Structure formats: C-alpha cells, structure tokens
Amino acid sequence: MTEGNFVDYIKVYATSGKGGQGSMHLHREKYITKGGPDGGDGGRGGHIILRGDKNMWTLFHLKFKKHFRADHGGSGSKSRSTGADGKDIYVDVPLGTIIRDADTDEIILEITENKKEVILLRGGKGGLGNWHFKSSTNQTPRYSQPGMDGIEAWFRLELKLLADVGLVGFPNAGKSTLLSVLTAAKPKIADYAFTTLKPNLGIVEHRDNQTFVIADIPGIIEGAADGKGLGHRFLRHIERNSTLLFLIPADSDDINKEYEILLNELKQHNPELLDKDRLLAISKSDMLDNELKEEIKAELPKGVEALFISSIAQTGLQELKDKLWKMLN
C-alpha cells in the first residue's frame, strides 16, 4: 500500500430505506362478493450496515464513494402478502474504525471484530395492512398505514490502527528505518523531519513462525497533543497499541528530556496511554563505543527498560524482538 492510499479519516452520508405502504385490499373472489379486508403489510426499508474486515488497513475505498442509500421496502398486497424488504447496504471497514455523529462528535460505535455486522441506520418499519384494523364495529376498514421514513445522517469515520506495538519518537528518530529492517514494509525514508506522513504497518516474524504487528506512527513534536505538527492525526493511532516502543537516537542532545517530552505529549492526549507497557530503544548506536554506551546507560530514564540497537548495522534487533514478544505475551 502506498502512503497516498492510507486514509484514516472520512466523512460519509447515509440514508436508510423507507418502509413500504400497507395494503388496503378487500378480498374478492368468485361467489364471494364481500370477503373482507386482506391487505398485507409493507416491507421494512433497507438498513445501512457496517461490517468489519481484518484484511483492510485503510478507509481509502470510501474516499470516492461517500453516499450510501438503501432501498425502500415494497408495498403490501392482497391475501395478506407482505411487501419485500428493502435491500440492505453493507459498508466494509477496517478493524479499529470509530464512527462518530458528524454534528455532535459523539462516538456511536466501534468496529473491532472481523466480520462483525452492526446496523448504523435502521430502515423504516413497513406499514400495517388493513386486515389488522378489522373489528366487530368496522368489518371493512378501507385504510392502512404508510411505511415509516428512513433515517439520514452524516457520519465521521476515524481509523485507529490495531497494531501490537506502536513506535513512538520525534521526527527523524529512525522509526521508518527500524520498521524496514524488522518487517517487509517499505516506508518512505529520508533524512528530514516528517518523512512519514501516514502510519505504516509491518508484520515482524519472530521465532517459531510467531508474528506480531508493529506500527510506525508519524513523529511526535512538542505540542502535538494541542494539535501542532500532525497532532491528533497520529496520536489516536497509539491508543490501540498494547505496547509502546520509544525510539530515541544515540546522538540526541538529552535522551532523558526527549523521553519526558514524549511521555508528556501522550499524557496530555490521553492519560491512559501511560498505563501501557513501554520499552526504550536507543537507535543509531553503531556510532557508540563501549565507553560511551556505559556513560549513556548511567543517565537513562528510570522506570523503563532500555536497550541499544542499530538498524543500519542490524545489532540488538533480535534482543529487541525477544523483549517485545515477551511483553506482548
């Protein structure tokens, strides 16, 4: 998937179908001139249904189709025949999709299970036929119910990636390079800030054919929780990761300070993010000798396990995968 095809935010308009009209038919047959009412009910209108698909990673397929309209229910007919239900419209979305009311911003539902179907908008109920209204005082009711109208609304769909591990770091910390050597993913890599503008996913192969999913999330800058840089566009993806891998380069001016800034941005966005398991990796460590490593070790942040890695020299990567696998399991 190319970076341009990754869409994690979309606005759609949906309308469910109107219920069918109930019939006001009176039974007529040879030798039976006054058979009484036998009008059937109208069919229900079509639903708008969301369906989870584990093979989808983006909302790109909705970029050019933002309007969904379900069919109306059929009218009832004679012999108490019920009209056909309107055809339902299914909208497939990736797991981790949140649906909000576009007007109130309220979260309506979340899709987190494969093939799970959730009715977003119910079709209108079909009207009752005239045979329902027959009584001892009204033997031949010549009226029936109209079908109920469908519902129309605008919705916002937001995708929060369902990855096991989320890579957290400042721009240019080496997250994309690490992802490219740990997985088969091919993220855009260059020596300037914000090379990654969209999250990238990769599958890490561990021992004995075991795998886990890692997400390279665009770099955090100070003030991201307030919307600076890419702001909330990427912070929401971190919410679903069960483990956070903090990546800080060995040539950083102050590793402790960078780590604290990253933690603070996560806390401001959502304090629950600090409850997740954390691991600190010092990247670009191929430029360090043993003496420098010992100096840096003495000043590393307290309360988080740390290790030295190099994506270029491919050192410390197996240890990193072992640690992450242990934390995930």
The reported pLDDT for the residue numbered 147 is 92
CATH of 165-328, one of 3.40.640.10, 3.40.50.1000, 3.40.50.300, 3.30.420.10: 3.40.50.300
Look up the pTM and report it: 0.66
Transcribe 209-266 into DSSP letters. Answer: G-EEEEEEPPPP-TTGGGT-TTTHHHHHHHTT-SEEEEEEETT-S-HHHHHHHHHHHH
Residues 35 and 130: beta-carbon distance below 8 Å: no
Tokens in use for 268? Answer: 């401001």
**Residue 84, helix vs strand vs coil:** coil
Q: Give ∠ CA 204-195-94 in degrees, rounded to 5.
A: 50
The reported pLDDT for the residue numbered 74 is 94
Give the span between the Cα atoms of 16 and 136, in whole angstroms.
38
List, for residues 35-63, the tens digit of each pLDDT value.
788 889 999 999 999 999 988 878 888 98
Strand ranges (E), 95-197: 97-101, 107-111, 117-121, 152-159, 165-168
The reported pLDDT for the residue numbered 233 is 55
**Residue 179, helix vs strand vs coil:** helix
- Residue boundaries of the structural domains of the chain: 3-159, 165-328
Name the CATH topology of 3-159. Spo0b-associated Gtp-binding Protein; Chain: A, (2.70.210)
Question: Sign of the C-alpha dihedral, residues 120, 157, 268, 250?
Answer: positive
Residues 240 and 96: beta-carbon distance below 8 Å: yes
Residue ranges, the chain, pLDDT below 50 = 1-3, 187-196, 222-232
The reported pLDDT for the residue numbered 222 is 46
The reported pLDDT for the residue numbered 234 is 57
Q: Say whether 165-328 and 3-159 share the same fold.
A: no
